[in-house]
Structure 1
Amino acid sequence: MTKERYGGIDLFKFFAAILVITIHTGPLLSYNSRADFLLTSLAARIAVPFFFMASGYFFFHKIKNEQGNQTKLLRQFLQRTGILYAICILIYLPVNAYAGHLTGAWNLPILIKSLLFGGTFYHLWYLPALMIGVAIVYGLRSFLREPYVIIVTLLLYLAALLGDNYYSLAAENQALQNMVQHVYGIMDSTRNGIFFAPLFIALGSLEANRRKPKRSALHSYILLFGISMAVLFLEGLLLQRSFAGTAIAPFNDMYAALVPAVFFLFLILLAGRGREHKWPRRLSTWIYVLHPAVIVGVRGIAKLTGLEAILIEDSLVHFASVVILSVAVSLLGIKILDVYKKERTSPLPRGKERAWAEISIANLLHNVRQLQSLLPRSTALTAVVKANAYGHGSVEIAKELQKADIHSFAVASVDEGVALRRSGLKGEILILGFTPTHRLDDVRRYKLVQTVVSAADAERLQEFGKPLRVHIKIDTGLHRLGEPYSNTEGILSMYRHSRLHVAGTFSHLAAADSLEADDLAFTRLQFERFQHTVSQIRAAGLKTGRLHLLNSSGILNYYDAGMQLDGVRSGIALYGLLSKETDRVRADIDLRPVMSLKANVTRVQRIHAGEPAGYNRSFLAERDTSIATLSIGYADGIPRELPEKGGSVLIRGRRARILATITMDQMLVDVTGIPGVQQGDTVTLLGRDGNDEITAGEIAEWTGTITNELLSTVGARVTRIYQ
């Protein structure tokens, strides 16, 4: 699997918003009416259907990936869009009042018709149409297969054409004419959420449930789009000619060729991919909503300044003014909203935090590049994000890695995998450990990949009765999980189960972190055992899927030994560390620690020589001593044995020795030799302050553990700040 990217769609959303302004301003009208017709009544008409198709694609893509409470997703979508619609109605109330739209007879049926189909202001029809259209397609998909959904919505669109540009055909048949007039009596237009929107939303749904278009097909899509646009122009010109000399004015909203044109345009944008662009995506919505108000504003400014001849009568200047002001106002609105959100949701200032971990995304991505530099381009890197990404925050770390084109992740349990999926993470998520039978439905529901830990386990998974995507583990000497490499028949049986779709085969190294001669020999032996087992599997005509063996130490010590295979798994090295600071590796790369751990000084006091401090009077002052209390303790992951092992922290760039017994929420340090320490000072327990640094390896050495354990025990109540 590859990371899904929608840069082309993001950029075109912005362009489509400008096309909507084009429709509403007629940039070439004062220069050449025929050219303006080609631009505003034909070319620009792809904008709104494109928005419908994009909305359908992303909504039903989310439905496909969630596999959970889909009705809840629909309800959330309708609620969000409905709130936006309500806000837009309020924004345009003054404009409606000024234009006199609120005068005249109003009753409940008129109000309902206006809200559901008219949009209360001329461009707002899109929002209720989107809600109705998505609800219709969602309902059709619940009892019809995808092709039939397309057929039903296509019939609705064809019916809509009879009420739009092809009204002349309906007029020739009394029954059709009566039908169209009846529809107009209820809805004012066939370009709405019942007739117009569902087809494009259904096409988006169709693409969401298919494999992404291949880049190799891009030229074909471009050619088909070009042909469709040529047909659209021909259709529009013929329709315009057919209306000439009649009392019926063309609508210029709906064309038959619009359907393939928008469809192939969308395939081009999907196949082109490109990196994501959040700003154009956000701007497009703001521009769409605000540009009519800007049009009113530009006209008002022109009248006040006497510049009507330039700002209004010159259609191109009028268009440019509206575009520039719409973008400017939208950018300002986005900025104000972002500041408001930041004030409401951002963490408290660091001086007011109890304890926090600073997570350097720059160092994380640097480590990814360093590790990848050791690997062949064909070897994929799997990010091990188990144990809350070794204490760094699994969801946040995985999302940042996904942006960096990492599309394979490994976790220890089904719950860890579910948490990542619920956060919206794409790509493969491999569960490295055992999953109980009663949780296998979650493995399927969230599209996780299960490790098969033995031949007997494979039989259990087969008996579950539903297809599962799996990686098979071979025990080559660690003797933890996996079917022993020597049991050839047992291993082959794992690949023959009809319900297990084998996507990978792997093993785990026992001594890859050691450069001792006997450990080097044992690691090579494990590799040979694995290769021999793979050859036996393939000789039996069975597929192994992706092969992966090396862990962090394996990458750093065997990057040039031909052991990389199809993939590698990196855990601790990804976070810039070795398990032990004293470990030596063969690779000459620069790994940078990702986490710094900090807390606050909450109190400073002076005790006299001979006075005790801490539980059980565990510290006895040998001299007058200044003691600082810190807002962090063993419940936050601080090892309790640090005071006895000579542990220290950094305050104002200098080391302060840890005193007394570390308690659940607090600890004491000696700041006698550090002038000016006061409440609110930042304390560094892990990381750099000034010219000094306390490393995870140093703390692990003090306490007789490894960095993996130290980082993964950093408590949940420690705020993670990503920077």
Structure 2
Amino acid sequence: MIKGTPKDIGGIDILKIFAALLIVALHSELILSLNTKFHTQLFMIFARMAVPLFFISSSFLLARHISMHHDQQQAVGKYVKRVSRLYLFWLVLYGYFIVKATEANMNINGWSIHNFVWGLLRCLLSGPKTMLLGWYLNASLFSVLFVYYWFKKHHYLGVALALISFILVVIFSGYYPLQWPLQVQTSIFVGPIYFYLGKLLFWWFEHKPRVNYWILAGLTTLVFCLAWWEIHGASFYHGNNDQLFTFPLLASLLFLLFLYLPIKLPCAHWWRNLTSFMYLSHYLLMKIFYNFLYFQIHSVAQRYLIIVGLVLLSYSVVSWLQRYNWAKILRSAF
């Protein structure tokens, strides 16, 4: 039996570090290279867990923060402001690439009110074009409003709608993929189910401080095998494997595995900020790198290490600059 306390959450920080590294590996094509080399979808399953784990950990920490405050509305409001600042900060940094991609798209499809409105709608539902992780911030804001405002008094209805929404996304992106002009698998519609799970897991952690780790590990292994089978099924239907039915359950079990680890990470705040910065900055650094040496480096492993190195370097610079008053805006970077 392993015992955890609401204050002992060092395992979450370690989990988020792994998740951030997996996201970089996925976008730098390291995961795809490993899958091709070893003829397996094993690595892809781990990579696809990264975003759900970020959703669940955000929801868990928000629920934990709310439990420590008497004013729930104020606590939720602070979270919304923080994510909004993150969104605006990175929206400005990605601005050049967003404008460039939008202009190219308009030149192809034509400059019209219809295309402009559709582009704006796509931006709201699935994030700005070329800002690959923008959809995560969109979905986080949408999910907080969904869970804590719109369906606060109708909890079960909210859970039902979140579940139905997720099921439809999986069916029509993974099993019977339709030619959507919008990528529903990376849209705001997948966020609420993970936020409900994060909230549920916090309740579990408060009321179940002890857990049989062997049973938990066994369940995780079983669900992992089901996810391996399901991701092969989605590949058979030529579907997208961003979201599958087993992912919420597998992500929840993995989260619990790390949550109950009796670990206290040194400089936890520093690492926590690094994971957020890596998640949001790596694709921008990749796009800048594309214009210089990216395709001259043929090894995907070397590309991956270079991007991680650039993230660490830029994070160190940003952290150092935050000491100065003129660089206060950089505090919105993570």
Report the TM-score range of the alignment, normalised by the length of the smaller protein.
Answer: 0.7 to 0.9
Asked whether the 8 Å contact 1:165–1:251 carries over to 2, the reply is yes
CA separation of 1:221 and 1:17: change in aligned 2, threshold 3 A: same
What letter corresponds to residue 259 of structure 2 in structure 1? Answer: L
CA separation of 1:124 and 1:106: change in aligned 2, threshold 3 A: farther
Asked whether the 8 Å contact 1:283–1:331 carries over to 2, the reply is no
CA drift at 1:6:
1.0
Asked whether the 8 Å contact 1:221–1:264 carries over to 2, the reply is yes
Tell me the residue number matched to 1:300. 291
Matched, 1:5 2:13: no
What letter corresponds to residue 134 of structure 2 in structure 1? Answer: L
What letter corresponds to residue 17 of structure 2 in structure 1? Answer: F
Asked whether the 8 Å contact 2:55–2:194 carries over to 1, the reply is yes
Structure 1 residue corresponding to 2:276, chosen from 258, 271, 285: 285
Matched, 1:160 2:161: no
CA separation of 1:302 and 1:191: change in aligned 2, threshold 3 A: closer
Q: For residues 546-604 of structure 1, give each alpha carbon's deviation from its aligned partner in whole angstroms, at most 9, with x where no partner exists.
A: xxxxxxxxxxxxxxxxxxxxxxxxxxxxxxxxxxxxxxxxxxxxxxxxxxxxxxxxxxx
Matched residues in 2 for 1:286 and 1:26: separation?
Answer: 20
What letter corresponds to residue 260 of structure 1 in structure 2? Answer: L
Matched residues in 2 for 1:45 and 1:340: separation?
Answer: 38
Tell me the residue number matched to 1:641. none
Asked whether the 8 Å contact 1:137–1:198 carries over to 2, the reply is yes
Tell me the residue number matched to 2:317. 332
Matched residues in 2 for 1:240 and 1:122: separation?
Answer: 23
CA drift at 1:126:
0.6
Structure 2 residue corresponding to 1:133, chosen from 130, 133, 143: 143
CA drift at 1:81:
0.9
Matched residues in 2 for 1:200 and 1:31: separation?
Answer: 28
User: CA-atom RMSD, angstroms?
Assistant: 2.7
Map residues 533-544 of structure 1 onto 2, 5 A cutoff: none
Matched residues in 2 for 1:281 and 1:21: separation?
Answer: 16
CA drift at 1:136:
0.6
User: What SS does the aligned partner of 1:225 have?
Assistant: helix
CA drift at 1:144:
3.1
Asked whether the 8 Å contact 1:153–1:199 carries over to 2, the reply is yes
> How many pairs align?
313
Matched residues in 2 for 1:130 and 1:28: separation?
Answer: 25
CA drift at 1:111:
4.7
CA separation of 1:36 and 1:86: change in aligned 2, threshold 3 A: farther
Structure 2 residue corresponding to 1:239, chosen from 230, 234, 239: 234
CA separation of 1:211 and 1:43: change in aligned 2, threshold 3 A: closer
Matched, 1:208 2:211: no
What letter corresponds to residue 237 of structure 1 in structure 2? Answer: H
TM-score by length of 2: 0.83
Tell me the residue number matched to 1:83. 85
Matched, 1:25 2:31: no
Tell me the residue number matched to 1:112. 120
Matched residues in 1 for 2:247 and 2:31: separation?
Answer: 22
Matched, 1:123 2:107: no
What letter corresponds to residue 212 of structure 2 in structure 1? Answer: A
Structure with the higher fraction of residues in strand conformation: 1
Asked whether the 8 Å contact 1:29–1:36 carries over to 2, the reply is no
Mind listing any 5+ residue stretches in structure 2 that lack a counterpart?
329-334
Tell me the residue number matched to 1:269. 258
Structure 1 residue corresponding to 2:242, chosen from 253, 260, 263: 253
What letter corresponds to residue 123 of structure 2 in structure 1? Answer: L
Asked whether the 8 Å contact 2:15–2:255 carries over to 1, the reply is no
Asked whether the 8 Å contact 1:232–1:257 carries over to 2, the reply is yes
CA separation of 1:260 and 1:34: change in aligned 2, threshold 3 A: farther
Larger Rg: 1 or 2? 1
Matched residues in 1 for 2:39 and 2:273: separation?
Answer: 28
Q: For residues 35-88 of structure 1, give each alpha carbon's deviation from its aligned partner in whole angstroms, at most 9, with x where no partner exists.
A: 4862553220111011111111111222233232x2333222222211211111
Matched residues in 2 for 1:36 and 1:301: separation?
Answer: 31
User: What SS does the aligned partner of 2:154 have?
Assistant: coil
Map residues 170-181 of structure 1 onto 2, 5 A cutoff: none
User: What SS does the aligned partner of 2:245 have?
Assistant: coil
Structure with the higher fraction of residues in helix conformation: 2
Matched residues in 1 for 2:152 and 2:160: separation?
Answer: 15
Asked whether the 8 Å contact 2:42–2:228 carries over to 1, the reply is no
Asked whether the 8 Å contact 2:173–2:240 carries over to 1, the reply is yes
User: What SS does the aligned partner of 1:77 have?
Assistant: helix
Identity %: 20
CA drift at 1:112:
3.1
What letter corresponds to residue 49 of structure 1 in structure 2? Answer: P
Q: For residues 685-722 of structure 1, give each alpha carbon's deviation from its aligned partner in whole angstroms, at most 9, with x where no partner exists.
A: xxxxxxxxxxxxxxxxxxxxxxxxxxxxxxxxxxxxxx
Matched, 1:320 2:311: no
Mind listing any 5+ residue stretches in structure 1 that lack a counterpart?
172-180, 244-249, 345-723
